Homo-oligomer: A and B are copies of this chain.
Amino acid sequence: KERFEGLSPAEFFYRNREIAGFSNPVRALYQTIRELVENSLDATELYGILPEIKVTVDVISPEKNIVKVRVEDNGVGIPSSEVPNVFGRVFYGSKYVIRQSRGLFGLGVKMAVLYAQMTTGSPVRVVTATPRSRRIHEFELMIDITKNRPRILKHNLIDNSKRWHGTIVELTLEGNWSGARRKVVEYIKRTALIAPYATITLKSPDVELHFKRLAYKVPEPPEIGRPHPRGVDIELLKSLIAKYSSGREDPPTLVDFLVENFEGVGRITAESFLKWAGYDPEMPIGSLTIEALDDLARKMREYDGWRRPRAHSLSPLGSELLSKGVQGILRPEFVASITRKPSSYGGHPFVVEVALAWGGEVPVSDHPLLLRFANKIPLLYDEGADVSRKVVDKIDWNTYKVKFPAPLAVIVHICSTKIPFKGVGKEAIADVPEVEREIEGAIRECARKLRRYLTQKEKELSLKLK
């Protein structure tokens, strides 16, 4: 007979860890490093702190492939009461809000802890202090996989005499450093490209990198936003209504509910919408039936009178910083870059930034070198499944005077409150039509600038030859 059972989230991802990028000792080491680095960059940038990230890789045992990874940052640290769940509970984090950040799933560091635990039996070590805290907290903990909760093995308090703030995470795992090194180095280089205001160092047995920041100002941190009516469904409406109604004496009205809970909805817009949709603005939201909620959700998605989502919850690099990063890392002869106006899909705002780098130290190749970024995360795998690759492949580069083999690099950066990732391993982006159109528009805009440059270069060369 069939045996029925339930799994905890930790159990599920322990069994299916390859889906999160932890498929083998090479890939798992890469994923471990990137999950920690991405957390450190969020912990600095989102608070306007110039990031200082130190990555250390020690090969403890080459025959057994045992590696120790340590990542240190100068970020906002983690409140000690939150450390156990942050590192020991799958689907726990602070990124479940409407705001651009690298983190979004509440899963990344837990996967790294799980993998280290199952391959070497060792706990994660965390040292952390929040700004102005008098004490530094040091933890060692593991995950109780069956129950999806942390098991604290150690918790020490250390005097924070130097008033340090930040986080150190140490993991010992089965990882193949010689296999992973090349991709890890590339990941760190590209992180330096897309976050040129960050200072990042890597120390490992056979390679040391030191990227000193090229810019001295962190971009304006994004603000937490509200959902846009374009993206509502019945469940979202129900949960927003529940939150908005709780603890109030007088039941709130429908128009108040819309104005207070959604992006792009002012009082006048809300009233015209409700008039169009056939609802009394003063109607108490508690009296909405399930059929009315269904109808309201549908009409909110359909109505074209909403203001488009603002970009205050986004934090693009800007074409100037993007050019700076590209110049610093790729050292091309020519760069054209653009940050497009904000757009949106399904109520989620997004901004596409593109740079084209040509010549100089850009390697010559049969097709464009594609560097993909999402919310300032470098994406190094699954290029064949990514929307940017689809767009680059359908462009006829001859139109822009680029004949392959050629030294051309295409840098695509997508910022959004919801990046349409294809999987929890965050490697490829789905071809959402609005996003695909924006990427193509941005690439063509830069390509026209490149064409002018190459045309000019051609003229100067033919003048010389005369």
Which of A117-125, A176-184, A260-268, A367-375 forms contacts with chain B? A117-125
A2 CA / B75 CA spacing, docked (Å): 12
Interface pair A423/B19, CB less than 8 Å apart: yes
Indicate with 1 or 0, residue by residue over A131-158, a CB within 8 angstroms of chain B CB atoms.
Answer: 0000000000000011000000000000
Interface pair B233/A119, CB less than 8 Å apart: yes
Interface size on A, as a range, is 35 or more
The answer to whether A19 and B424 touch (CB under 8 A), given A9-B9, A118-B234, is: yes
Candidates B85, B91, B382; contact of A9 at CB < 8 Å: B91
Residue of B nearest to A289 (CB): B121
Interface pair A234/B18, CB less than 8 Å apart: no
Chain B residues with CB under 8 Å of A382's CB are 385, 422
Residue of B nearest to A293 (CB): B121
A64 CA / B299 CA spacing, docked (Å): 10
Residue of B nearest to A432 (CB): B23
A430 CA / B420 CA spacing, docked (Å): 21
The answer to whether A4 and B85 touch (CB under 8 A), given A118-B234, A120-B234, is: yes
Chain B residues with CB under 8 Å of A380's CB are none
A65 CA / B326 CA spacing, docked (Å): 46
Chain B residues with CB under 8 Å of A16's CB are 105, 424
Indicate with 1 or 0, residue by residue over A74-99, a CB within 8 angstroms of chain B CB atoms.
Answer: 00100100100110010111101100
The answer to whether A91 and B19 touch (CB under 8 A), given A76-B2, A234-B121, is: no
A272 CA / B404 CA spacing, docked (Å): 60
Indicate with 1 or 0, residue by residue over A1-27, a CB within 8 angstroms of chain B CB atoms.
Answer: 011111111011011101100010000
| A428 CB within 8 Å of chain B | yes
A152 CA / B145 CA spacing, docked (Å): 29
Interface pair A94/B421, CB less than 8 Å apart: no
Interface pair B6/A91, CB less than 8 Å apart: yes
| A280 CB within 8 Å of chain B | no
Residue of B nearest to A89 (CB): B6
**Interface members, chain A 97-120 (any B CB < 8 Å):** 97, 105-106, 117-120
Interface pair A82/B384, CB less than 8 Å apart: no
| A220 CB within 8 Å of chain B | no
Candidates B93, B121, B290; contact of A290 at CB < 8 Å: B121
Interface pair A91/B428, CB less than 8 Å apart: no
Smallest Cβ distance from A313 to chain B, in angstroms? 15
A120 CA / B291 CA spacing, docked (Å): 9
Residue of B nearest to A104 (CB): B16
Chain B residues with CB under 8 Å of A3's CB are 94, 97
Q: Which A residues have a C-beta under 8 Å from some C-beta of B?
A: 2-9, 11-12, 14-16, 18-19, 23, 64, 76, 79, 82, 85-86, 89, 91-94, 96-97, 105-106, 117-121, 145-146, 233-236, 239, 290-291, 293-294, 298, 382, 384-385, 420-424, 428, 430
* A12-B105, A19-B422 given; 4 more Cβ-contact pairs under 8 Å: A3-B97, A7-B91, A8-B91, A18-B430
